[in-house]
Amino acid sequence: MTAIDGEALGGTRGRILEELAVAPLTARDLARKLGIQESAARGHLGRMEERGLVTPTFRKEGVGRPRKRFALTSQGQDQFPRKYDLILDSVVDELLASKGEGFVSALFAEAAHRMAREVTRSLPTNATEEERIRHVVGALNDLGFRSSLERSPDGKRHIVRTNCIFRHSALTHPFLMCDVFDKNLTEALLGESGVALEDSIGRGGIRCSHLIPLR
């Protein structure tokens, strides 16, 4: 059975997720499997339902009322570890070997611009520069980057990120992930050219920092 990411959800609720990953179960079924009281199982399921991790389903089995079983939601399934970086690295290595760095760089740049168009779709067309920057920081946070806007003593603005959502791939392919994809994404999000990547996790830094040019 696949282990739950300890940071996401551990203990009894993590074990509940693991059981529900196999098949939907009733509170009584879970209590028996986990060796806990049925009331305790119901309490855990109720709180997990509030968090959007499980959802009740009803199925009629023979005579009587339908039985209430709990199943994982998409959010619940997302609590299990994913190894997308290994797949991405394999694809990138294959593309580099067969198509060359120029082709792959153009592909990553276009992917960054496509992603930026999706992210900025909800941004008002008449947004001010500061509104756009705040929107970009919020969008990056929604993607998991842990971003913030900082101002240096000389008044320069920096978008700082303390988490890299593709850290493993950035360490493996820093030019493609940092200098091409990340830089193009930030410029496209801001609607600015000349954004300078000053520091990056992919190149051994503790954070990524983009200098926004002043108008």
Q: What is the pLDDT of residue 3?
A: 45
Q: What is the pLDDT of residue 8?
A: 47
Domain 84-212 fold? Muramoyl-pentapeptide Carboxypeptidase; domain 2 (3.30.1380)
For 11-69, the pLDDT digits (tens) are: 898 899 999 988 899 999 999 999 999 999 999 999 999 999 999 998 777 676 788 99
> Are 197 and 208 a contacting pair, CB within 8 Å?
yes
Phi-psi region of 54 (alpha: psi -120 to 50; beta: other; left: phi over 0): beta
What H or E segment, with its residue span, contains residue 101?
helix 101-119
Q: Which residues contact 73 (CB under 8 A, 6 or more apart)?
A: 52, 53, 54, 55
Q: What is the pLDDT of residue 9?
A: 60
* pLDDT over 90 percentage in the chain: 40
Give dist(CA 161, CA 141) in Å, integer.
9
Q: What is the pLDDT of residue 2?
A: 44
Please list the helix, strand and coil fractions of the chain in percent, rounded to the nearest 5, in that order: 55, 15, 30
Which residue ranges make up each domain of the chain?
A: 11-77, 84-212
For 154-171, the pLDDT digits (tens) are: 888 889 999 888 888 999
Give dist(CA 97, CA 95) in Å, integer.
5
CATH architecture of 11-77: Orthogonal Bundle (1.10)
